[in-house]
């Protein structure tokens, strides 16, 4: 038996990732007023208006933002269209509020929420919806980043990225260090004008495609980060790990990168003091801001990613119940 199999934290993470797809528990928690009140630390409410309010506060504090309209694995064409329309409304509201100037606020898309999994025509539907969102982002003078999901969608997502970049070269990519393939993907994408967010990854993946040990995932993150920092693109360092944040700064300096030629990214509600510290030091610090009703799967993956988030959630339920 591997040592990782005996680690309770590994069991907990795997269990939470399985629960992220448990529809019965999702329905129970989504209807519970107590849990919804706790979720507001990590999710910027249900509405466009509330999301705009939250990012306005972040911008006022010197931070940047990327907004995700929650939802994934859509198997209904009408829902995919609804998600597209939500982004169009959001981008219009951000532009009207003056929040897109200078790249202050952009949006992040999950292609599975735009129809990617809808059979033979799914990729075309997701691409068409993403095109409309990218054009709206261009009109608003901001950018779009394509979130990465589980490994079965990686090739499809990178293919759609290539299509979109023909018209909008600034479309950002996300790569996950727990996949064996990612170091090579970083080399392929570390070119001039290429925006790449590097994260560890939060989906439950098989050993055939992904590192299972946290230390190996971290080592891969550093290897990938070295490639991106040495390249000609724009690295986006998505981590809350103090060691990896420090390493990113060292690598940026070693490669002669000035502030503004890369950025840090963290999730709404996680290490806000560190976010403010980095911003106060003159670093570009972007906060990932999710909003909408479909928060359950997102929240479960956040708790699996960091045990302290689970403890916070359970403690809050106990004290508010």
Residues tagged active-site: 147, 197
Instruction: With CA atoms as reference, report the closest residue to 320 among 14, 77, 38.
Output: 38
Say how far apart CA 140 and CA 123 lie, in whole Å: 25
- For tokens 């928690």, name the residue: 29
């Amino acid at each position: 038996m591997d040592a990782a199999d005996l680690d309770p934290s590994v069991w907990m993470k795997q269990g939470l990732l399985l629960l992220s797809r448990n529809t019965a528990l999702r329905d129970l928690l989504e209807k519970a007023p107590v849990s919804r009140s706790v979720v507001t630390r990590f999710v910027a409410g249900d509405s466009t208006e509330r999301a705009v309010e939250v990012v306005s506060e972040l911008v006022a504090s010197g931070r940047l933002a990327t907004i995700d309209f929650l939802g994934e694995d859509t198997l209904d064409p009408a829902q995919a269209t609804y998600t597209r329309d939500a982004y169009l409304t959001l981008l219009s509201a951000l532009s009207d509020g003056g929040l897109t100037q200078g790249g202050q606020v952009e949006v992040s898309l999950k292609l599975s929420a735009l129809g990617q999994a809808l059979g033979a025509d799914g990729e075309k539907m997701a691409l068409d919806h993403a095109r409309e969102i990218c054009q709206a982002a261009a009109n608003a003078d901001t950018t779009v980043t394509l979130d990465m999901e589980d490994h079965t969608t990686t090739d499809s997502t990178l293919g759609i990225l290539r299509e979109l970049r023909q018209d909008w070269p600034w479309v950002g990519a996300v790569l996950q260090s727990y996949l064996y393939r990612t170091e090579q993907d970083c080399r392929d994408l570390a070119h001039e004008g290429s925006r790449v967010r590097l994260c560890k990854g939060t989906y439950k993946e098989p050993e055939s495609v992904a590192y299972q040990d946290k230390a190996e995932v971290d080592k891969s993150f550093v290897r990938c980060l070295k490639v991106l920092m040495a390249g000609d693109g724009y690295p986006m360092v998505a981590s809350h790990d103090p060691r990896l944040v420090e390493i990113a700064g060292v690598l940026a300096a070693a490669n002669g990168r000035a502030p503004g030629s890369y950025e840090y990214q963290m999730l709404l509600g996680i290490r806000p003091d560190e976010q403010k510290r980095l911003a106060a030091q003159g670093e570009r610090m972007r906060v990932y801001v999710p909003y909408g009703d479909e928060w359950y799967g997102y929240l479960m993956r956040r708790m699996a990613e960091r045990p302290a988030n689970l403890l916070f959630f359970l403690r809050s339920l106990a004290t508010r119940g």
